[in-house]
Amino acid sequence: MSAPVIVGVDGGESGRDALVLGEWAAAVLGAPLVVAVVHPAPAALGSGRVDAEWVADRRRSAQAVLDGARAVLTTAAEYRTVASTSAAHGLHDLAEQLGAEAIVVGSGRAGPRHRLFPGSTADRLLAGSVCPIAVAPAGLERAPGTLGRIGVAYVDTLDGRAALEAAARLAARTRTPVRIYTVVADADATLPFLVGQDAEHAFLDTARETFEQSLRRAAESVRDLPVDWEIRTGDVVDQLAELDDVDVLFCGSRGYGPARRVLLGGVSTRLLRRARRPVVVVPRSG
């Protein structure tokens, strides 16, 4: 079996968003689609006993969730139930077992519509995954593939380059343009006012020139695809969260920690809670 796209569902409203995003990703990547529900593993009640009736009920509930997923999808998929101590742990184990291309989840049930608000499953998945994690915002109105652009939140680091590489692979499949975004802080947020406006503006000009150079190099590194770039000014999360003209936005995890693991930093965490479009967090490759 080639590397699949795994969609984790739990019967909540966010599951439909995840299924829409996951079905599109699998089709674009030419990957098998696996829909998974994690149910509690049998736990001992004492003296080696387990509540067999409760376990059987959880299994029936998981099957009912899968039946609901079948009604949403329009393409073939493999359906699995996984017994584990937690939903995140079960999806992690399944991803490692299958060598998954990506794990797709919906936003948390308590999240506002049109905004990402990962519940506990997404939060735990995003802490240490070996493959990219895609999170669909609640109430996904425009399906991926309808806007014709792949976005990348970029800083010239290992994490930023990993995000760009993953985005370019997807864009090569869809034959859509890539836009690379970098955000520069407002003047008031960069240096103390005692430094003086002249020095502050000189600093900002230098920073912008540095970012422009790194963005040009990043764009030139992507072959055979239309790539442009944009520097925005303001709070990085505010600017990236409001993007509404990309099919998906790729971003890196934080710039330290084990290679090939997603380890969220502060920007990625806040972005996932507020983004209007699907976000894919990519583990750095080395």
Does 126 share its domain with 188? no
Give residue 186's domain range: 149-286
Q: What is the pLDDT of residue 196?
A: 47
Is the pLDDT at 279 greater than 70? The verdict is yes
Q: What is the pLDDT of residue 109?
A: 54
Does 247 share its domain with 215? yes
**pTM summary value:** 0.84
Q: What is the mean pLDDT of residues 85-111?
A: 87
Q: What is the pLDDT of residue 284?
A: 64
Q: What is the pLDDT of residues 135-176, one digit of tens each?
A: 998 888 788 899 999 999 998 888 889 999 999 999 999 999
Per the structure, the count of domains in the chain is 2
| Burial call 263-276: b when 16+ CB within 10 Å, e when fewer | bbbebbbbbbbbbb
Q: What is the pLDDT of residue 143?
A: 83
Q: What is the pLDDT of residues 43-73, one digit of tens each?
A: 655 544 557 777 788 888 899 999 999 999 9
Pairwise CA distance, residues 281 & 261, whole Å:
10
Does 37 share its domain with 91? yes
Does 11 share its domain with 78? yes
Q: What is the mean pLDDT of residues 235-250?
A: 92
> End of a domain among 92, 114, 141?
141
Q: What is the mean pLDDT of residues 93-112?
A: 85
Specify whether the CB–CB gap between 36 and 9 falls below 8 A. yes
Q: What is the pLDDT of residues 2-51, one digit of tens each?
A: 899 999 998 877 889 999 999 999 999 999 999 999 988 776 555 445 57
Q: What is the pLDDT of residue 264?
A: 47
Q: What is the pLDDT of residue 55?
A: 75
Tell me the one-letter amino acid at 113: R
Does 160 share its domain with 282? yes
Better pLDDT: 18 or 85: 18
Q: For residue 214, give both structure tokens.
A: 């790194």
Better pLDDT: 280 or 270: 280
Does 170 share its domain with 42? no
- Confidence band of 194 (pLDDT split at 50, 70, 90): very low
CATH number at residue 88: 3.40.50.620
Pairwise CA distance, residues 60 & 89, whole Å:
20
Pairwise CA distance, residues 59 & 139, whole Å:
28
> End of a domain among 123, 141, 159?
141
Does 100 share its domain with 137? yes
Does 167 share its domain with 128? no
Ordered DSSP codes for the chain? -PPPEEEE--SSTHHHHHHHHHHHHHHHHT--EEEEEEEEPP-EEETTEE-HHHHHHHHHHHHHHHHHHHHH-SS--EEEEEEESSHHHHHHHHHHHHT-SEEEEE--TTSPTTS----HHHHHHTBT-SS-EEEEPTT--S-TTSS--EEEE--SSHHHHHHHHHHHHHHHHHT--EEEEEEE--GGGTS-GGG-HHHHHHHHHHHHHHHHHHHHHHHHTS-SS-EEEEEEES-HHHHHHT--S-SEEEEE--SSSSTT--B--HHHHHHHHH-SS-EEEE----
Q: What is the pLDDT of residue 126?
A: 72
Does 172 share its domain with 119? no
- Confidence band of 209 (pLDDT split at 50, 70, 90): confident
Q: What is the pLDDT of residue 11?
A: 82
Is the pLDDT at 134 greater than 60? The verdict is yes
Is the pLDDT at 248 greater than 90? The verdict is yes
Is the pLDDT at 261 greater than 50? The verdict is no
Better pLDDT: 43 or 195: 43
Is the pLDDT at 103 greater than 80? The verdict is yes
What average pLDDT does the chain have?
82
Q: Is 148 left (phi over 0), alpha (psi -120 to 50) or beta?
A: left
Does 54 share its domain with 85? yes
Does 113 share its domain with 215? no
Does 49 share its domain with 155? no
> End of a domain among 109, 141, 173?
141
Q: What is the mean pLDDT of residues 114-118?
A: 54
Q: What is the mean pLDDT of residues 190-203?
A: 52
